[in-house]
A and B are shown apart, each in its own frame.
Chain A
Amino acid sequence: MKFLVLMLAIFVATESSAQIYGFNTFDSSYGPNGDELQVKNMPPVRSQDTLGVCYAFSASAIIEHTICKENKLDCKDLPNDQRPSVLDLARYATDPSKLQDKSDPNSYPKELGNEFTFGMDIILNMFNTESVSKESCAPFDNIVSKARSVNEQRADEEKMWLQFRNAYDMYKIKSKDCEQCALDYATTTGKDLQKSYNLKTNNLEMLKAFGAATYQEFLFRALVPENCGKAGKRIRFYTTEKKMGIWPLEDTNKPNYDVAITKIKEQLSNDRPVLVNSLCTLKQPNRECIKTTSNGTESGGHGLVITGFRKMCNKSGKCYDAVKVHNSWGQAWQDANNDGWVEAKELLDRTRYQYGTLSWIEFK
Chain B
Amino acid sequence: MLLKLIIALNSFAYAYPSQLKVWKDDKYIPVVIKEHQGLHLSEVCLKKSPANCDAFNATKVVTTASATRTGTVGHPASRYCHDKNGVVRILISNDNKQYDFCLFKDGSMIDSWELYYKHFPKEVIK
Interface residue ranges, A against B (CB under 8 Å): 14, 16-21, 23-33, 36, 44-54, 76-77, 114-115, 141-142, 144-147, 149-151, 153-154, 158-162, 164-165, 198, 215, 295-296, 299, 310, 312, 320, 328-333, 335-339, 341, 343, 346
The residue that B122 contacts in the complex, of A23, A153, A158, A335, with Cβ under 8 A, is A23
Q: Are A299 and B73 in contact (CB under 8 A)?
A: yes
Bound Cα distance A328, B78 (Å): 12
Decide if B76 touches A154 in the complex (CB within 8 Å).
no
Q: Provide the bound-state CA to CA distance between A337 and B114, in Å.
A: 11
Tell me the B residues contacting A by CB distance below 8 Å. 4, 7-8, 11-12, 14, 16, 22-26, 40, 62, 64-80, 82-83, 85-90, 92-93, 95-100, 103-105, 107, 111-114, 116-117, 119-120, 122-126
Q: Judge whether A77 and B96 touch: CB under 8 Å.
A: yes
Q: List 10 A-B pairs, Cβ < 8 Å.
A: A14-B64, A16-B120, A23-B122, A49-B75, A50-B88, A150-B105, A162-B68, A330-B77, A330-B98, A331-B99
Known contacts A49-B88, A159-B87; A23/B123 CB under 8 A: yes
B124 & A45 in contact (Cβ 8 Å cutoff): no
Q: Are A337 and B76 in contact, CB atoms less than 8 angstroms apart?
A: no
Q: Tell me whether B77 and A333 are in contact (CB under 8 A).
A: yes
Give the chain B neighbours of A19 by CB distance below 8 A: 120
Is A339 a contact partner of B122 (Cβ separation < 8 A)?
A: no
Q: Do residues A25 and B124 form an inter-chain contact, with CB atoms below 8 A?
A: yes
Q: Whole-angstrom distance between the alpha carbons of A141 and B89 in the complex? A: 10
Please judge, given known A-B contacts A50-B70, A332-B100, whether A76 and B123 are in contact too, CB under 8 Å. Answer: no
B119 to chain A, nearest CB (A): 8
Question: Are A18 and B83 interface neighbours, CB within 8 A?
Answer: yes
A337 and B117 alpha carbons, distance in the complex (Å): 11
Contact between chains at B64 and A16 (CB < 8 Å): yes
- Given the interface contacts A151-B105, A333-B77, does A46 sit within 8 Å of B98 by beta carbon? yes
Across the two chains, which residue of chain B brings its CB closest to A112?
B72
A165 CA to B112 CA, complexed, in Å: 24
> A50 and B82: CB pair below 8 A?
yes
Q: Does A332 lie within 8 Å of B111, measured CB to CB?
A: yes
Report the minimal beta-carbon distance from B6 to chain A, rounded to whole angstroms. 10
Q: Are A25 and B113 interface neighbours, CB within 8 A?
A: no
Q: Residues of A contacting B86 with CB < 8 Å?
A: 150
Q: Let me know if B71 and A161 touch, CB within 8 A.
A: yes
Kindly report which residue of chain A lies nearest to residue B72, judged by CB atoms.
A52
Inside 8 A of B112's CB, which chain A residues have their CB?
A: 330, 332
Query: Given contacts A29-B126, A144-B88, is CB(A330)–CB(B113) below 8 Å?
Result: yes
B96–A44 touching, CB < 8 Å: yes
Which residue of B95, B124, B125 is within 8 Å of A76 (Cβ)? B95
Measured CB to CB, the nearest residue on chain A to B16 is A335
Q: Are A24 and B123 in contact (CB under 8 A)?
A: yes
Given contacts A19-B120, A328-B75, A332-B100, contact A31 B4 (CB under 8 A): yes
For B103, the chain A residues whose CB sits under 8 A away are: 150
* Assembled-state Cα–Cα distance A161/B72 (Å): 8
Nearest-CB distance from B113 to chain A (Å)? 4
B124 contact set on A, CB distance < 8 A: 24-27
Q: How far is the CB of A146 from chain B (nearest CB, A)?
A: 7
- B37: min CB distance to chain A, Å: 15
> Chain A residues near B123 (CB, 8 Å)?
21, 23-25, 346
Cα–Cα, bound, A215→B111 (Å):
31
